A and B are shown apart, each in its own frame.
Chain A
């Protein structure tokens, strides 16, 4: 019979931490130890396993209390170094979100940068507009504050420390700038995030220890788990945490502002959670390796919520630097820093060894069932198929320019999709192409003057996406194609403007 024997209690472990005899290892060292000693041996030898992660955590921010001015002000709108902070809480409380861009420098400086500047001890310019009430008469205020000048600066992050994260690639034919970094066209690279073997939640996948009230390492300070994070989805191994900590005790070594090109600001945070090796189950769970943690490689080239997964890979594959994708060796790189994740786990281990960090019993377990459902959208947005014209005239590539000109004049579009014998899209010809050919005196076949790189739309594509394609490439019409790339319609900027006009 296989009995799970609880060999140690949390208070025994804390006792050892207090008298300096606790044996602490990082989650990177644990797998080999468990392999060598077996789970039971590891329980006897190891008291605490420290984890760590350091990466972009957009869903982060701080509550700041500025103190009361004289005359007092009830802040309606506040700018901190030109970054707007939410003032819809009490008079001089503000919430500053990490991803809020600034009004003067745009995404190059945002909420995350203000947070980093505060932690670095820099002075922040504050501009506030007041509501003007009998109790708070002040209407406007300007001041400059440092972290020390604030009564409280409390970090409260709705979603941090994802258990693991989908890797990203891009099958489209243009470079994408995303929150997963620069994704090169035609699956030219793969980006990933997360610490794998050191990931806090991957070392406690069943949430046996981590719960409400668990004391954690948050950017150098002692922080706490408040509860499960938003989009917490443990059924699919995508658990998340909501955490809090005192900004005044944090260090820029583990808190860094970032900007993702053409996306926005974000905050890199170091989070570490110590896991007490209470029993063999914990020992086995903390022996997880990079190769045991798998994620899908998701195609960001498809601009939809349900992006297709191209392959399942492990963190070991991702960290190797090269992954075979569609028969091609594809370079991988990380957006989170494994180097700093190690420093988090090591710093936490040192604090525990010195008796400065005690482990805490959760007051409530985290939910084993989460929710990461799609948004319920009550206002239906039309798809390309709902607004396109079906009476599209297509031509074959061997017709003369003159014939094409006649078709354009007699038809309703100034674009003619050029198709193969079986109706597949090969190119497009516009009234402008024909004018150019005529002006140059070169009356040729369509095949010589058509554009071969055609942007097209799909029937079930939301019109927002078709509009973005038109806008991005400065064009005015898109052939609509089916799954076999056969032309079935045409959508033009006229269709979209008509739709907008009718809305008003």
Chain B
């Protein structure tokens, strides 16, 4: 299990964990039993299908090549996303959002 990010202040805290997929449910339930709200981050970046016009402005600005075209339709390989946010401001249609931020 890897801690990718953690921030804690006086009233709340948040950590991002990388967990092997077979352990996901187990870890999630363990946290939830202790009253922690768990958000699965399988899809770190969300694309609004109604807003996206498949222009592709996100493709070349993503440092990890999350986006690509398949017959000129935009396809996202969300597993690659590191939540840098470059695509969020780079999308002219404001169709992309990061799950956590």
Interface of A toward B, CB cutoff 8 Å: 54-56, 108, 177, 181-182, 184, 189-191, 256, 258-261, 266, 268, 321, 331-340, 342
User: Out of A55, A189, A337, A340, which one reaches B61, CB within 8 Å?
Assistant: A189
Chain B residues near A190: list those with CB within 8 A. Answer: 60
Most chain-B Cβ atoms within 10 A of its Cβ — which of A54, A258, A259? A258
Q: Is the interface of A mostly helix, strand, loop or mixed?
A: strand
Contact call B72/A256, Cβ cutoff below 8 A: no
Asked whether any CB of chain A lies closer than 8 Å to the CB of B41, the reply is no
Note all chain B residues with C-beta closer than 8 A to A332. Answer: 60
* In the complex, chain B residues whose CB is within 8 Å of the CB of A182: 57, 61, 86, 89-90
Contact B57 A333 (CB under 8 A): yes
Number of B interface residues, CB 8 Å? 19
Q: Which of B54, B69, B73, B92 contacts A181 (CB 8 A)?
A: B92
Pick from B53, B60, B73: contact of A333, CB under 8 Å: B60
How many cross-chain pairs have Cβ atoms below 8 Å apart between A and B?
A: 71
Residue B37 CB within 8 A of the other chain: no
Nearest CB of B to A210, in Å: 25
In Å, the complex CA distance between A342 and B55 comes to 12
18 contacts between A and B (CB under 8 A): A56-B92, A177-B89, A182-B61, A184-B60, A189-B61, A256-B53, A258-B92, A258-B94, A266-B92, A331-B60, A332-B60, A333-B56, A334-B57, A334-B59, A335-B56, A338-B54, A339-B53, A342-B72
Report the nearest A residue to B53, measured CB to CB. A337
The 6 closest A-B pairs by CB, nearest first: A258-B92, A333-B60, A189-B60, A333-B59, A331-B60, A339-B54
B57 to chain A, nearest CB (A): 5
Cβ–Cβ contact A335 & B92, under 8 A: yes
With contacts A268-B55, A333-B61, A337-B53 known, what are 14 further pairs, Cβ within 8 A? A108-B94, A181-B92, A182-B61, A184-B61, A189-B60, A189-B61, A191-B57, A268-B93, A321-B59, A333-B56, A334-B56, A335-B55, A335-B57, A340-B53
Contact among B68, B72, B86, B89 for A338, CB-based, below 8 A: B72
A181 touching B61 by the CB < 8 A rule? yes
Q: Map CB proximity to A onto B20-61 as digits: 1 under 8 Å, 0 otherwise.
A: 000000000000000000000000000000000111111111
- B59 closest partner in A (C-beta): A333
Instruction: List A contacts of B86 (CB < 8 A).
Output: 182
Q: In whole angstroms, how far apart are the Cα atoms of A316 and B69 in the complex?
A: 15
Taking a contact as CB atoms under 8 Å apart, the answer to whether B89 and A261 are in contact is yes
Given contacts A184-B61, A339-B72, contact A334 B89 (CB under 8 A): no
Give the complex CA separation of A182 and B55 in angstroms. 13
Contact A259 B92 (CB under 8 A): yes
CA distance A259 to B53 in the complex (A): 13
Contact of A256 with B59 at beta-carbon distance under 8 Å, contacts A54-B53, A342-B72 already known: no
CA distance A261 to B61 in the complex (A): 13
What B residues does A184 contact at CB under 8 A? 60-61
Closest partner residue, chain B, to A265 (CB atom):
B92
CA distance A338 to B69 in the complex (A): 10
Most buried by B among A256, A321, A333, A335: A333
Knowing A334-B55, A336-B55, the reply to whether A259 touches B94 (Cβ < 8 A) is yes
How many Å lie between the Cα of A289 and that of B92 in the bound state? 27
Nearest CB of chain B from residue A51's CB, rounded to whole Å? 16
**Distance A194 CA – B53 CA, assembled complex (angstroms):** 14
Interchain nearest-CB distance for B80 vs A (Å): 14
